[in-house]
Amino acid sequence: MTDIAKPDKRPANPNFSSGPCAKRPGWSLQALADASLGRSHRAKIGKTKLKDAIDLTREVLQVPADYRIGIVPASDTGAVEMALWSLLGERGVDMVAWESFGAGWVTDVAKQLKLEDVRIFEAPYGEIVDFSKVDFDRDVVFTWNGTTSGVRVPNADFIPDDRKGLTICDATSAAFAQALDFSKLDVVTFSWQKVLGGEGAHGVLILSPRAAERLESYKPAWPLPKIFRLTKGGKLIEGIFAGETINTPSMLCVEDYLDALHWAKSIGGLDALIARADKNFAVLDAYVEKTPWIANLAVKPETRSNTSVCLTIVDHDVLALDADAQAAFAKGMVSALDKEGVAYDIGAYRDAPSGLRIWAGATIEASDLEALTAWLDWAFANQKAELKKAA
């Protein structure tokens, strides 16, 4: 490594992973001391904690009273898959994707469910689909915030109020950091490991009255495994939305989620969480604007995520390299920052263009991002020096 002076200030918390994300400020294991460990989740104490998690989710996320909220297995992926396998097939579906997870839902619907009436709308990394071409009288599946591209929908104005189809929205890296318009969304999914920094393995499924009606009036042509079943005898299993989970949850993870929700409520709820994420993104965006070697992957400013900030290296010497060498350059920066203990897990997602992905959600401190920017310059300068040395 070339001997280039290191910045004086280091981030107090170097955890900038996009999932699982950094714990809330001030978190410690002591916060989980009240977890109902060694007890059944079916016991009164377990069901009470699960119901409390649902109720606090509704309060902090500002979910309408007539929407159902359930804690489900297998993180956000499990929640999305439950929705796709349980709801789709009643009518044609428009699949919308502009990053890897959205593309994964396209594959599931087109190649696993093998629905016949499927239209696919895709955009490359950094861009977003033209929603004016999407038909909302069909079911529509989309991600609100592309975790691997840093591209989000700026709002839900493109969804008509009089739609006939259901809108199924993967909101895992948007929930608690971006304003979700529930009046336009029939299914919302997320994992609490993202903006609230919870532990992995659990997902949340939110259903509008229209989605609940579909579940009770439509039966898919394919068999559903037990872990996906939301109805019994043609009726919604209401217990799922009152803390009676389909399979056994980790009560330690539930306690951690409760802690995060109480923290969110204590700082001012959803508005405060959004403000923290916006402030964090502003730090990175201002840095990018003044730094010639780096740029936002998201092309349009209004579509740039305030949580999963994806950056691409635009230095002309790096761009002159082939794709593998460009990826190696970015990985070299990531490795150097990791070894210094100033930034962990900030490499671009494996399917995305090479570069950096820095989490800026509500559990991150703006001061840590400010300190990080100097280290980004340091890592780039080192890699550039090594590049010139090898030339």
> 247 with 289, same domain?
no
Q: Give how many domains the chain has, as a whole number.
A: 2
Domain holding 58: CATH number? 3.40.640.10
* The domain boundary residue, chosen from 265, 292, 317: 265
> 39 with 155, same domain?
yes
> 159 with 300, same domain?
no
Q: 3 falls in which pLDDT band (50, 70, 90)?
A: confident
Residue 116 counted as domain residue? yes
Closest to 192 (Cα-Cα) out of 13, 82, 281, 60: 60
Instruction: List Cβ neighbours of 325 (8 Å cut-off, separation of 6 or more).
Output: none
Domain holding 373: CATH number? 3.90.1150.10
> 193 with 168, same domain?
yes
Which amino acid is present at 343? Answer: A
Residue 1 counted as domain residue? no
Please, what's the largest Cα pairwise distance for the chain? 70
* The domain boundary residue, chosen from 265, 280, 305: 265
> 142 with 286, same domain?
no
Q: How many other C-beta atoms lie within 10 A of the C-beta of residue 19?
A: 20
What are 322's two structure tokens?
């082939």
Q: What is the pLDDT of residues 52-111, one digit of tens each?
A: 999 999 999 999 999 999 999 999 999 999 999 999 999 999 999 999 999 999 999 999
> 163 with 102, same domain?
yes
Residue 22 counted as domain residue? no
> 184 with 281, same domain?
no
Q: What is the pLDDT of residues 255-278, one digit of tens each?
A: 999 999 999 999 999 999 999 999
Q: 333 falls in which pLDDT band (50, 70, 90)?
A: very high
> 328 with 249, same domain?
no
Q: 126 falls in which pLDDT band (50, 70, 90)?
A: very high
Pairwise CA distance, residues 380 & 387, whole Å: 10
> 253 with 296, same domain?
no
> 232 with 357, same domain?
no
Residue 134 counted as domain residue? yes
> 66 with 196, same domain?
yes
What are 151's two structure tokens?
């591209």
Q: What pLDDT, on the 0 to 100 scale, is given for residue 1? A: 56
Q: What is the pLDDT of residues 134-155, one digit of tens each?
A: 999 999 999 999 999 999 999 9
Over range 19-30, report the average pLDDT. Answer: 98
* The domain boundary residue, chosen from 213, 243, 265: 265
Q: 219 falls in which pLDDT band (50, 70, 90)?
A: very high
Residue 194 counted as domain residue? yes
Pairwise CA distance, residues 142 & 381, whole Å: 39
Residue 189 counted as domain residue? yes
* Mean per-residue pLDDT over the chain, rounded: 97
Q: Decide: residue 139, CB within 10 A, 0-12 exposed, 13-18 middle, 19+ buried.
A: buried
Q: What pLDDT, on the 0 to 100 scale, is given for residue 391? A: 78
Dihedral sign for Cα atoms in the order 101, 15, 357, 349:
negative
> 202 with 261, same domain?
yes
Over range 242-258, report the average pLDDT. Answer: 97
Q: 4 falls in which pLDDT band (50, 70, 90)?
A: confident
HEC string of the chain equals CCCCCCCCCCCCCCECCCCCCCCCCCCCHHHHCCCCCCCCCCCHHHHHHHHHHHHHHHHHHCCCCCCEEEEEECHHHHHHHHHHHHHCCCCCEEEEECCHHHHHHHHHHHHHCCCCCEEEEECCCCCCCCHHHCCCCCEEEEECEECCCCEECCCCCCCCCCCCCCEEEECCCCCCCCCCCHHHCCEEEEECCCCCCCCCCEEEEEECHHHHHHHHHCCCCCCCCHHHCCEECCEECHHHHHCCCCCCCCHHHHHHHHHHHHHHHHCCHHHHHHHHHHHHHHHHHHHHHHCCCEEECCCCHHHECCCEEEEEECCHHHHCCCHHHHHHHHHHHHHHHHHHCCCECCECCCCCCCCEEEECCCCCCHHHHHHHHHHHHHHHHHHHHHHHHHC
Residue 7 counted as domain residue? no
Q: 2 falls in which pLDDT band (50, 70, 90)?
A: low
Show the domain range for 51. Answer: 29-265
Residue 226 counted as domain residue? yes
